[in-house]
Structure 1
Amino acid sequence: MHEEQSRRPGGASTLGGRTVGRIGYGAMALERFADDRQAGVALLHRARELGVDHVDTADFYGDGVANDVIRRAFGADDSVVVVSKVGAVRVAAPVPLALAQRPEQLRAQVHANLRSLGRERIDVVNLRRADTGPGLLAEGDQLVDVEDQLAEMTAMRDEGLIGGIGLSAVSGEVLERGLAAGIVCVQNAYSLVAREHEALLAQCIREGIAWVPYFPLGGAFPGLPKVVDEPVAVRIADELGVTPAQLGLAWLLQHAPDVLLIPGTSDAGHLAENLATGAVRLDETQVADLDAVWGRRLADGTAHPSWP
């Protein structure tokens, strides 16, 4: 292995029983390489050279495009931990996703991921629930008990189709009900400017479960706050000579030891910037100022409404 590959961005942590760097790669951006998949392969190879050893994907990213690029880049290389997710499927615009929560739908999605990734086993599979926003919320026949879903996920783990089981877009109550299945990670929306799930993060820390925030810089939907627009973040980023986005990622890494990041990009320069956040260090005063942002937003009413 190249010396560059032996370095883990942000230090090392654990995901599904595997040691990985704390900064991985979120594959949603690979959708943009539908017409030039070799360019996407080159980006993933560069990420690997810079130490990335886990990627987070889904078959519904680009209707299989992201998984196909990952397959072309890494094949069945087990030195790269591949995490995928089930619980939704790609549909026609204007709304590109629909929930697919029933146990038989989850199994079909695992097989779809295996085919598009070209693998016999997926290291970790997240069950994308719909208990909390932003985004899709379950209704009708898509309101499925987590116990029924995890029974199917556990069966697929026993069959060797998947390794670890994770949960996404869940409440603390649902996580508690799922603990018996051996949950290895939780993915919920969370950032410096959107900390509704602080209690859930604390629950994960107590249980030794990796916390993998999506929307780590906020602002994924219109009207939601963005880290890059937060004056305190802009000021401290300037003090440190980094971008506000890098600062937002660095705050997440320092906020809790079990945080793993999966920032995504289709640009090699931006990729390097994301990975460089692992070397950013905030002093106690800077951390305190950033920690206070959420409380101030709650107090002055500028925090976005709580999600269900």
Structure 2
Amino acid sequence: MAADTNKTRRIGDVAVSAIGLGAMPMSIEGRPDEERSIATIHAALDAGINLIDTADAYHLTATDVGHNESLIAKALASYGGDTSDVLVATKGGHVRPGDGSWTLDGSPKHIAAAAEASLKRLGVEAIGLYQFHRPDPKTPYEDSVGAVRDLLDAGKIRMAGISNANPEQIKQAQEILGGRLVSVQNQFSPAFRSSEPELELCDELGIAFLPWSPLGGISRAGDLGNQHPAFHTLAAELGVSPQRLTLAWMLAKSPYVVPIPGSSRPETIRDSYAAIELTLTADQVAVLDAA
């Protein structure tokens, strides 16, 4: 681990900012215009964020597949500064037919084709971090993760992760990948804490744990303080937003936690990133754990 794990953490052998940018809100329902989205990504980079999470399924229509990946590639290409250390983490295995639904396809054939398409949209020689998005009941888990292993072996991806996995699947993936699993991305927030066992296992194994929707999701993030009084009270005492406090709480839970709050406005990602400057006491963490 890096010396100051409140500011920098590791995914595999790559140093990343302790807070990443979840780019999904910029491509699904209610998405902003491209200008604001690119301004948001640039604001994240300006702040010091070098981890951006995306997926090929972050789009609206069936002809819009990979919208988020293409948006990120455009934002990185138009950024005035150095982007050589930016880790773009994408995912495959979810499908949006265009009718508003989310379906699954974890077949090796789909994973291979999806990764190839993501690689082209991102405009890279190898994807920095590729994550199997969600287990597909129609496909044996070992087949889906095996397809990710094949991508790793072929040099199409530099690192491999999984998402929406339980402890048994984490252990299984680690075995299938030959000890090369570097990250697990699960839902985790003050309102959704059932991924505590996965967080604890990742801490034990030394694998990065990436909480998705850490602030409760797109429609609920702004109301976090009202929904969780303990977070509201302590945030007021510290003079910070409940959202910033929530991310600081997650950072305090394990040096392997790397939250990826979604954002579609420059000001919200700046506030989220400022959580790296907020260090909580053990007593404060305990209060929030019990809330």
Q: Which TM class, normalised by the smaller chain length?
A: 0.7 to 0.9
Q: Which residue of 1 aligns with 2:173?
A: 178
Q: Which residue of 2 aligns with 1:286?
A: 284
Give the deviation of 1:70 after TM superposition: 1.0
Distance in 2, matches of 1:116 and 1:168, equals 21
Q: Would you say the 8 A contact 2:39–2:266 is kept in 1?
A: no
Q: Which residue of 2 aligns with 1:149?
A: 144
- The secondary structure found in structure 1 opposite 2:95 is strand
Distance in 2, matches of 1:167 and 1:290, equals 28
Give the deviation of 1:10 after TM superposition: 4.1
Q: State the one-letter code of the partner of 1:40.
A: S
Q: Which residue of 1 aligns with 2:73?
A: 71
Give the deviation of 1:239 after TM superposition: 0.6
Q: Where do residues 264-275 of structure 1 align in structure 2 (5 Å cutoff)?
A: 264-275=262-273
Q: State the one-letter code of the partner of 1:165.
A: A
Q: State the one-letter code of the partner of 1:100.
A: D
Aligned residues: 273
Q: State the one-letter code of the partner of 1:125.
A: Y
Give the deviation of 1:242 after TM superposition: 1.2
Q: Higher relative contact order at CA 8 Å, sep ≥6: structure 1 or structure 2?
A: 2
Q: Deviations over 1:222-247 (max 9, x none)?
A: 9xx95651111111111111111111
Worse-superposed segment, 8-17 or 192-201: 8-17
Q: Would you say the 8 A contact 2:208–2:256 is kept in 1?
A: yes
TM-score (normalised: structure 2)? 0.86
The alignment yields a C-alpha RMSD, in angstroms, of: 2.4
- The secondary structure found in structure 1 opposite 2:85 is coil
Q: Would you say the 8 A contact 2:22–2:260 is kept in 1?
A: yes
Distance in 2, matches of 1:288 and 1:267, equals 31
Give the deviation of 1:273 after TM superposition: 0.7
Give the deviation of 1:270 after TM superposition: 1.1
Q: State the one-letter code of the partner of 2:150.
A: A
Q: Deviations over 1:230-272 (max 9, x none)?
A: 1111111111111111111111011111100111211111121
Q: State the one-letter code of the partner of 1:253.
A: L
The 3 A distance-change label for structure 1 pair 153 and 235 is same
Q: Deviations over 1:261-307 (max 9, x none)?
A: 111211111121111111112223221211112xxxxxxxxxxxxxx
2:110 is the counterpart of 1:105: yes
Pairing partner for 1:51 from 45, 48, 51: 48
Give the deviation of 1:9 after TM superposition: 9.8
Q: Which residue of 1 aligns with 2:207?
A: 209
- The secondary structure found in structure 1 opposite 2:159 is strand
- The secondary structure found in structure 1 opposite 2:187 is coil
Q: Would you say the 8 A contact 2:167–2:201 is kept in 1?
A: yes
Q: Deviations over 1:61-111 (max 9, x none)?
A: 12322111111122495321110001111212232x211111111111101
Q: Would you say the 8 A contact 2:40–2:264 is kept in 1?
A: yes
Q: State the one-letter code of the partner of 1:94.
A: G
**Unpaired runs of at least 5, structure 1:** 1-7, 131-137, 294-308
- The secondary structure found in structure 2 opposite 1:40 is helix
The 3 A distance-change label for structure 1 pair 40 and 183 is same
Q: State the one-letter code of the partner of 2:119.
A: L
2:86 is the counterpart of 1:91: no
Sequence identity, in percent?
32
Q: Would you say the 8 A contact 1:218–1:227 is kept in 2?
A: no
TM-score (normalised: structure 1)? 0.82
Distance in 1, matches of 2:85 and 2:217, equals 33
Give the deviation of 1:217 after TM superposition: 2.1
Q: Which residue of 1 aligns with 2:16?
A: 20
Give the deviation of 1:35 after TM superposition: 7.6
The 3 A distance-change label for structure 1 pair 219 and 261 is closer
Q: Would you say the 8 A contact 1:165–1:185 is kept in 2?
A: yes
Q: Where do residues 210-289 of structure 1 align in structure 2 (5 Å cutoff)?
A: 210-218=208-216, 228-289=226-287
The 3 A distance-change label for structure 1 pair 153 and 93 is same
2:60 is the counterpart of 1:60: no
Distance in 2, matches of 1:261 and 1:275, equals 10
- The secondary structure found in structure 2 opposite 1:163 is coil
Distance in 2, matches of 1:159 and 1:240, equals 49
Give the deviation of 1:21 after TM superposition: 0.8
Give the deviation of 1:199 after TM superposition: 1.8
**Unpaired runs of at least 5, structure 2:** 60-64
Distance in 1, matches of 2:152 and 2:225, equals 37
Q: Would you say the 8 A contact 1:192–1:227 is kept in 2?
A: no
2:120 is the counterpart of 1:123: no
